[in-house]
């Protein structure tokens, strides 16, 4: 079985934090237990705002806040859905070794795992993953508002045939 990675991607411009939360809520409709989502973007880009919507869409318990100081936080489902495991890998300098200490690979099969700052740190956890990259739009300062550019990139067989654009259209 080769490791030929297939990719699918789509892009969104998100004008407000409320719409960022809504985008997370819409993505939740595409996710299932075992999915790994890597969130990238500079500080303040909207990663936690996006994850808050994701948690709402998955119907999990507990306020979704940045897990910076606890590194990982588990939000159990209120109904039948998977739990949300929200990880902040920013302070994990050791990469995969430190991530393995968190036992995320144990949580992964029955959970949706969202890793902020996960790029180049946790890809080895799963062949299938969804990269979500959030950037401030370059015109934000001039326009008076604060839009974001969000790119979704599904990697691996799990995302083949998933129409990200349609699923996120709302």
Beta-bridge mates of residue 132: 39, 152
Percent of the chain with pLDDT over 70: 81
CB atoms within 10 A of CB 85: 23
Q: In what order do the strands lie in the sheet with 84-88?
A: 7-14, 148-155, 129-136, 36-40, 112-116, 84-88, 72-75
Per-residue pLDDT tens for 100-140?
666 665 667 889 999 988 787 777 778 899 999 999 887 64
């Amino acid at each position: 079985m080769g490791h030929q990675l297939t990719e699918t991607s789509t892009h969104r411009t998100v004008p407000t934090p409320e719409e960022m939360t809504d985008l997370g809520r819409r993505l939740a409709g595409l996710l299932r237990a075992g999915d790994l989502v890597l969130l990238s973007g500079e500080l303040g880009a909207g990663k936690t705002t996006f994850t808050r919507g994701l948690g709402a869409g998955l119907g999990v318990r507990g306020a979704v806040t940045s897990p910076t100081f606890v590194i990982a936080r588990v939000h159990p489902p209120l109904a039948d859905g998977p739990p949300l495991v929200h990880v902040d890998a920013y302070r994990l300098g050791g990469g995969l070794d430190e991530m393995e200490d968190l036992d995320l690979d144990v949580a992964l099969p029955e959970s949706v795992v969202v890793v902020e700052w996960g790029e180049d740190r946790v890809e080895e956890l799963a062949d299938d993953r969804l990269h979500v990259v959030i950037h401030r739009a370059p015109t934000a300062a001039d326009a008076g508002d604060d839009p974001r550019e969000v790119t979704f990139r599904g990697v691996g067989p799990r995302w083949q045939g998933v129409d990200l654009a349609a699923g996120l259209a709302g």
